[in-house]
Amino acid sequence: MAERRTIERPLSPHLQIYRMTLTMAMSIVHRVTGAALYFGTLLLVWWLIAVSSSATQFDIVSAFFASWVGQLVLFGYTWALLHHMLGGIRHFIWDTGRGFNPQEREFLAMATIVGSIVLTLLVWTFGYMLKG
């Protein structure tokens, strides 16, 4: 029943011949945001070490995060986190065997994009409102 034998399987065509679809782009973005979050952990370590070191070090890191470059990085990092988080929830839904038909896939993809942007804006709005 399960003897090993070579089967002539069709080979995948090269990636370039595919038309980019939304779900395909989302898969790529999930991986890219994951990689960005990976290296972005350096920012967290920098911040924690600065807090643990001295008020001077804390002021340096705070000044960076308050600068426009720092704000841009943090804004992007917030979005990457929330996008990856919603993408993960999408994977949990798929893990249950649901959400695989074309309309559902497109809906989940759009929900992830819109949801990540809305949540990022909400987090930042709260951040500015609560700013001490």
Partner 1 sequence: MKTPLGRVRGLGTAHSGTEHFWLQRLTAVANLPLLIGFLIVIVALVGRSHAAVISTLTNPFVAILILSALISVVMHMRIGMQVIIEDYVHSEGRKILLLMANTFFSLGIGLAAAYALLKINFGL
Q: Which residues form the interface with partner 1 (CB under 8 A)?
A: 1-3, 31, 34-35, 37-38, 41-42, 44-45, 48-49, 51-52, 55, 58-59, 66, 78, 81, 85, 88-89, 91-92, 95, 123, 126-128, 130-132
Residue 102 or 127 having the CB closest to partner 1: 127
Least CB distance to partner 1 at residue 41 (A): 5
Which CB atom, from 18 or from 88, has the smaller least distance to partner 1? 88
Shortest separation between residue 114's beta carbon and partner 1, angstroms: 19
In the bound state with partner 1, the residue whose beta carbon lies nearer, of 91 and 98, is 91
Task: Report, in Å, the least distance between residue 96 CB and partner 1.
Answer: 11
Comparing C-alpha atoms, which of 20, 18, 22, 21 is closest to residue 114?
A: 22
Which residue, 49 or 110, is less far from partner 1 as judged by CB? 49
> Rounded to whole angstroms, how far apart are CA atoms 120 and 117?
5
Question: What is the nearest approach in angstroms of partner 1 to the Cβ of residue 6?
Answer: 16
DSSP output for 8-68: -PPPPPPGGGSPP-HHHHHHHHHHHHHHHHHHHHHHHHHHHHHHHH-HHHHHHHHHHHHSH
Residue in the structure block whose two tokens are 């988080």? 85
Backbone φ and ψ for 114, nearest 5 degrees, come out as -65, -45
